[in-house]
A and B are shown apart, each in its own frame.
Chain A
Amino acid sequence: MKITFDWLKDHLKTNLKEKNLLEQLTNIGLEVESVESLSSENQLFKVAKIIKTEKHPNADRLKVCDVNVGDKELKKVVCGATNANEGLITVYAPPGAIIPKTNTKLEIAKIRGITSYGMLCSESELNLSDESDGITELSKKYEKNIGKSYFSKSKSNSIDLSITPNRPDCLGVKGIARDLAAAGFGKLILSKEKQIKLKTKQTLKVKIKKEKGQGCSSFGSCLIKNVKNTESPQWLKDKLISVGQKPISAIVDITNYVMLDINRPLHAYDADKIEKGIIVRNSKSGEEFKALDNKIYKLEKGMCVISDNKGVLGLGGIIGGTRSGTEFNTKNILLESAYFDPRSIRNTAKKLNLDTDAKFRFERGIDPLSIETGLKKAASLIQEICGGEVSKIDIQKIGSYKVKTINFDVNSFENIIGFKISEKEMRRILTDLGFIIKKEKNFLKLSVPSWRPDISQQIDIIEELVRVSGYDKIKTLDPIKDRSKSTLTQTQRLFHFLQRAIASKGYLETITWSFTGQSYNDHFRETNKEVKIVNPISSELGVLRNSIFSNLIMYMSKNLDRGFKDLSIFEIGPIFTGSNPGEQKTVVCGLSAGKKSRLSWIDKERDIDLFDAKRDVVQTLSEAGYNSDQFFIDSKTPNYYHPGKSGRIFLDHKKDKVAAYFGEIHPNILKKIDIKTENLIGFEIFLENLKLSSKTLKDQKLQFAVSDFQKSERDFAFVVNKDVEAQELIDVISNVSPDLISNIKVFDVYEGKNIPDNQKSIAINITIQSSEKTLNDKDLEKINNSIIVAVENKIGAKIRS
């Protein structure tokens, strides 16, 4: 919403300066987005006429124009617009001018070898409209203004306000003035309605059909006959230009002016083009009409349309149609001022994907009691500028407007806001805002002004009072440093711990989007449900990720392309298993590429491998408090891992829920993604699958018990079938005598010479220690034998001689 201080002064008597105004606007919740200077700089933009055009010698699409800018000599300007034709009157910007849209300073420039002195501007470049197709076209009447400034001299800047959606009343200059006056910034000028003589009857019949879901509850109109539509007078043009609107014709300009001034949208029809009368009704399915934006809209059933006998004339409160539009030769006009239901407006506009100024206003709520005021204001201006006779005003209604009342307890203000204002001051503010106050025993009975659809309960009144009194009056009550509940839950603590534990192992934490590309996702989706986004920002980001790998692998690849070879990254975040709230899991996902000890003078370099990832996972889990001695590990993993070089970890042998996967990423995926690295290793830890201990750490700690009796170490080498896993062997051995076997360590795995083809040798170091005595040779011998026998019986392994 753009306003100028000058325009505000039509409604506000004040001695204060613009600087105070800007501050005050922001203080009462009408945020100043920007202030655009219209004064000195914009005086550089001149009305100009193209005298001659030639094709640019070096460019097909460019023209070299000789332009009359009011000087003795013509200016040479290079222009690419198709409408830059001889005789066109347009707007010229000389070198040094600042183009409003881009905020760039124009310089004399050579364009394909031809020097261009300035530029011919499009409406969009002048911030007049969004029209960027071609340069501004001005009517012949501007001929006399050639060489003069296009923008009128205005002392006032254009102030762009961001009006929150609850304040439709402030979409009119008057509403803003009212708010300012309530806040003590001057006095609201109560403009008297201009009295015009309304003699003739409104002869065009208007009917609002009583239908279910009728979006129009009130339709006011008047006929103005024998008008001469013309260009607007300078004052009106200046006003519109000052807030960034382009003057079109008097009738259109007047309706725009009334809309901007008091937020009362109006629509002018060419009355002669209306067949018989106006019918406001619900649209039928499939009805079509051509709107003023020159597009044809096909309507669904139940949209509020203004129609005549022939069909749809326009969408009520959204956009008019070309069939009944006014033109310069329009003689008789019907002026519409109606009330449309915000819901109906919004539904229709959404379905048709239409956004207009009228729609923006109606969907926020127009003052239902402004119908007559608006008609009168516009009609009198039309009569003044275009002549003609204005008919009596006809208002059709289905239902009547009821004034809202609120019982306001004055004490509620301090209760919510924390400071006090006197009842007298409250009454002053509310009166200034247009409330009518009746004092009752325990409360004030407030009648809400019709232009405030946002106000319906006590809290709305409190807001008005504090907003106008000033938020700076709110006290700053320091918080009390007191905690009655622990900050983090156990799961949140675990999240935290895993995050930092993985990072401490050399992984860089990344945060990637929760959505990803379908093709990447499919590599890691398995049989999980694909969760599509209906309206993604691009098709490459069209699904919620089923695995974090999809994003990590893509970014890993990008980093490898940047020339980094050995890299570990991870992310902790959600993956999605469905499109319902809660169908998500928290995963810690890591990915490592390249080598260890690359180009080391001291260590032997090697490809990174799954045991690196396994270490990181197992170490992290044990740091988090899980006993790695109890882990159960097997090789059943999702198909995006290398089937032979990956594993999964359970926290114990009950194998309840998978705690983690680790392993090489499947070579097929590397091939498809075309990722260039020696090896790519990943892991996933599933936060929700990690059982939380019900005991606190201090309860979990076992009693400190160590044995000082001598310990013995024994080495064994067992020859086993190739498919026997080390874990089986360890399990069997530790079960032989859990009290005495305190540590088991695999220190060699060997296949090859001296070992049968389908077998391998596993060498194990076993620590034996009693907590009761020093074991003698006989004891040790006995354990040795038990181990050998157990391993032979249960696994079929032979001790290697």
Chain B
Amino acid sequence: MSDLKKIRDEFISKLKGKLDLAELNQIKSDLFGKNGLVSSQFKKIGTIDVSERKKFASDLNIIKDELQDLINLKINEIQNANINEKLEKEKIDVTLPERSFVRGKIHPVSQTIDEISSIFSEIGFSIEEGPDVENEYNNFTALNTPDNHPARDMHDTFYLDDKKERLLRTHTSPVQIRTMLKDKPPFKIIAPGRTYRSDSDQTHSPMFHQVEGLHIDKNINMGHLKGCLNYFIKEFFEVKKIKMRFRPSHFPFTEPSAEVDIGYKIKDGKIIIGEGDQWLEILGCGMVHPNVLKNVKVDTTKFQGYAFGIGIDRLAMLKYGINDLRAFFDCDYRWLNHFGFDPLDVPTNYRGLSR
């Protein structure tokens, strides 16, 4: 038996026994260390007779590979066993609660404003704003509601001075005036914002929100108004079809004026928009009164158009099934959490208005 075979047999049998990592490393070093048994054999290759040298080298390599593989296998086994043992010990109760997190929410009115803006953006409206404190002229007189006009009684106004010159705007319509005084026609704007009336009970809040719409251009007629609102209501309620009714009414700043009703029904305690025989008033609108256009120096022989005003809070209530207006401004944590929207849910046209 050659030396090589002897070495092989001896170590194969050694490696069959139960060994720890240190012992394995010892064997590794005994064989393949600087003066290890296998290493020494390699050094001998040069001294071997040429006729046998090739075979010797080949045998040696085979033995070397065999032993090396076996040792690596053994080491791997032990390492795996160690990891498994460790994993076994490290098991943790993953049903324990995660680190705490808090979710912020967007108020339903803000969300609704964004929804409205998104819809009107599609058809070319841009957003205008105006101050909460207005002068009497912009809020009433310029809007064809002169002093001593009975229509002023319909607005319970908060005043900031005894002369009644400064007030909290009772509607968003003064933004029409500001916009038209500032720029030249055409105008195509909406103006959402806070509005105020000194009215406070179950269904009225002294502060509420409106969105004003104004479209002035050449040849804009009442059919465009109807089409615009029809589009808006359909988009807003995210329904394919709506029932809408234009009803004659009177606002000093539009003529002809209309109130708009939408058809609805109550099913299982929930309101369904667009079906049923009941009517719900949701907004007022009309063709901008020539007196208003004259007040802001718009040439009525060239330009005409429509305006509308919608109660935002009411729209939000209808869409999201909120039945108490007062709760909007009560800041009850539970209410805000329940009716609020995730800040990442930005209403956009391409991903839809709401989830």
Binding site for B on A (CB under 8 A): 26-29, 31, 164-167, 342-343, 346-347, 363-364, 414-419, 457, 459-460, 462-463, 466-467, 471-472, 474-489, 492, 496, 499-515, 531-537, 541, 544, 555, 558-559, 562, 564, 566-569, 573-574, 576, 579-584, 597, 600-603
Q: List 19 A-B contacts (CB under 8 A).
A: A167-B250, A364-B150, A417-B256, A418-B221, A418-B222, A466-B256, A477-B221, A478-B230, A485-B188, A500-B344, A535-B198, A537-B200, A537-B206, A558-B332, A559-B331, A597-B100, A601-B96, A603-B99, A603-B100
Q: Given the complex of chains A and B, what is the CA–CA distance between A536 and B105 in angstroms?
A: 31
> B221, A417: Cβ atoms under 8 Å?
yes
Contacts of B333 in A (CB 8 A): 508, 559, 562, 564, 567, 569
Which residues of chain B from 273 to 296 have any CB-CB distance to chain A below 8 Å in the complex? 287, 289-290
The answer on a CB contact under 8 Å between A29 and B151 is no
A26 adjacent to B344 (CB under 8 Å): no
Given A475-B226, A511-B110, the answer on whether A165 and B124 have CB atoms closer than 8 Å is: no
B140 interfacial by beta-carbon distance below 8 Å: no
Quick one: given A462-B256, A500-B343, A581-B134, are A509 and B105 in contact (CB under 8 Å)? Answer: yes
Q: Are A166 and B344 in contact (CB under 8 A)?
A: no
Q: With CB as the reference atom, state the residue of chain A lying closest to B96.
A: A601
Whether A600 and B100, one on each chain, are in contact in the complex, defined by CB atoms closer than 8 angstroms, is yes
Q: Hey, which chain B residues are within 8 Å of A484, CB to CB? A: 124
> Bound state CA distance, A581 and B166, in angstroms?
8
Query: Which segment of B6-14, B21-29, B59-67, B241-249 sits at the interface?
Result: B241-249
Contact of A415 among B207, B221, B259 (CB under 8 A): B221
Segment of B49-57, B82-90, B154-162 engaged in the interface with chain A: B154-162
Chain B residues with Cβ below 8 Å from A364 are 150
**Given A363-B148, A477-B226, A581-B135: 15 more A-B contacts, CB < 8 Å:** A415-B219, A416-B304, A418-B224, A488-B117, A504-B343, A510-B331, A535-B159, A544-B160, A558-B332, A566-B102, A567-B333, A568-B102, A569-B331, A602-B97, A603-B99
Given contacts A510-B331, A512-B329, A531-B160, contact A478 B247 (CB under 8 A): no
Which residue from chain B places its CB closest to the CB of A576 in the assembled complex? B133
Could you say which residues of chain A place their CB within 8 Å of the CB of B221? 414-418, 477
Q: Are B227 and A478 neighbours in the complex by a CB distance under 8 Å?
A: yes
* B226–A416 CB distance below 8 A: no
The answer to whether B104 and A166 have CB atoms under 8 Å apart is: no
B194 at the interface (CB under 8 A from A): yes
Among candidates B103, B126, B199, B256, residue contacting A467 with C-beta atoms closer than 8 Å = B256
Partner of B150, one of A346, A419, A477, A601: A346
Contact assessment for B231 and A500 in the assembled complex, using a CB-CB cutoff below 8 Å: no
Question: Closest Cβ of chain A: how far from B242's Cβ, in Å?
Answer: 11
Q: Which of A27, A501, A515, A569 contacts B248 (CB 8 A)?
A: A27
| Residues of chain A with a CB closer than 8 A to B257's CB | 463
**Contact present for A504 and B158 (CB under 8 Å):** no
Quick one: which of B117, B134, B151, B331 has the most chain A CB within 10 A?
B331
**Would A510 and B258 count as touching, CB distance under 8 A?**
no
Whether B223 is near chain A, meaning CB under 8 Å from some CB there, is: yes
Q: A487-B117, A512-B329 are in contact. Are A474 and B246 (CB under 8 A)?
A: yes
A124–B161 Cα distance when bound, in Å, is: 37
A192-B99 Cα distance, complex, nearest whole Å: 88
Minimum distance in angstroms from B294 CB to a CB of chain A = 11
Q: Report if B346 contacts A (CB, 8 A).
A: yes
A482 and B160 in contact (CB under 8 A), knowing A463-B256, A477-B226, A499-B110?
no
Contact for B336 among A480, A506, A509, A602, CB less than 8 A: A509
Select from chain B the residue with minimum beta-carbon distance to A532. Answer: B160
The answer on a CB contact under 8 Å between B196 and A514 is: yes
Question: What does the 1/0 interface line of B127-166 toward A look like (CB < 8 Å)?
Answer: 1010111110010000000001111011000111110101
Whether a CB of chain A sits under 8 angstroms from the CB of B32 is no
The docked-state distance in angstroms from the alpha carbon of A492 to that of B337 is 25
Q: A164 touching B250 by the CB < 8 A rule? A: yes
| Known contacts A508-B340, A533-B168, A514 near B160 by CB under 8 Å | no
Q: Who on chain B is nearest to A582 by CB? A: B131
When the two chains form the complex, which single residue of B249, B290, B330 contacts A29, counting CB atoms closer than 8 Å? Answer: B249
Taken together as a complex, chains A and B put the C-alpha atoms of A518 and B304 apart, in Å, by 46
Residues of A within 8 A of B114 (CB): 496
Identify which of A31, A342, A487, A535 contacts B126 (C-beta below 8 A): A487
Q: How far is the CA of A558 from the CA of B329 in the complex (A)?
A: 13
Question: Is B328 at the interface (CB under 8 A from chain A)?
Answer: yes
**Chain A residues in 8 Å Cβ range of B337:** 508
Given contacts A342-B148, A510-B336, A603-B99, contact A568 B104 (CB under 8 A): yes
Chain A residue contacts of B149, Cβ below 8 A: 165
B331 A512 Cβ-Cβ under 8 A:
yes
- Across the interface, name the chain A residue whose C-beta is closest to B199: A537
Q: How far is the CB of A629 from chain B (nearest CB, A)?
A: 26
Choose from B127, B138, B328, B336 the contact partner of A508 (Cβ within 8 Å): B336
Q: Which residues of A contact B30 (CB under 8 A)?
A: none
By a CB distance below 8 angstroms, the chain A residues around B126 are: 485-488
Min distance, Cβ B36 to any Cβ of chain A, angstroms: 40
Rank and list the top 3 A-B pairs by shortest CB-CB distance, nearest first: A29-B248, A164-B250, A418-B223
A489 to B340, CA, bound (A): 25
Which residues does chain A contribute within 8 Å of B247, judged by CB atoms?
26-27, 29, 31, 471
In the complex, the chain A residue whose C-beta lies closest to that of B169 is A581
Contacts of B131 in A (CB 8 A): 581-582, 584
State A31–B159 Cα separation when bound (angstroms): 31
Which of B102, B228, B331 is A558 in contact with, Cβ under 8 Å? B331
Q: In the bound complex, how far is the Cα of B200 from the Cα of A472, in angstroms? A: 35
Asked whether, in the complex, the Cβ of B104 is within 8 Å of the Cβ of A534, the reply is no
B239 CB within 8 Å of chain A = no
Assess the A459–B148 pair: CB atoms within 8 A: no
* Nearest CB of chain A from residue B39's CB, rounded to whole Å: 39
Q: How far is the CA of A488 from the CA of B289 in the complex (A)?
A: 27
Task: Compute how far the CA of A415 lies from the CA of B302 in the bound complex, rounded to whole angstroms.
Answer: 11
Q: List, in ascending order, chain A residues with CB within 8 A of B287's CB.
A: 416, 459
Cβ-defined contact, B207 with A514, below 8 A? yes
Closest chain-B Cβ to A486's Cβ sits at a distance in Å of 7
Report chain B residues within 8 Å CB of A504: 104, 343-344
Tell me how far the C-beta of B112 lies from the nearest C-beta in chain A, rounded to whole angstroms. 11
Residue of B nearest to A350 (CB): B148
Q: CB distance B248 to A503 under 8 Å?
A: no
Query: Which residues from A are CB-within-8-Å of B228?
Result: 479
Least CB distance, B303 to chain A, in whole angstroms: 12
Q: Are A487 and B127 in contact (CB-based, < 8 A)? A: yes
| A507, B104: Cβ atoms closer than 8 Å | yes
Given A31-B247, A459-B289, A512-B329, A534–B102 Cβ distance below 8 Å?
no
When chains A and B are docked, how far (Å) is the Cα of A467 from the Cα of B154?
A: 22
Nearest-CB distance from A740 to chain B (Å)?
38
Whether B207 contacts A472 by the Cβ 8 Å rule is no
Bound-complex Cα distance A527 to B241 (A): 56
Distance (Å) between the CB of A462 and the closest chain B CB?
Answer: 7
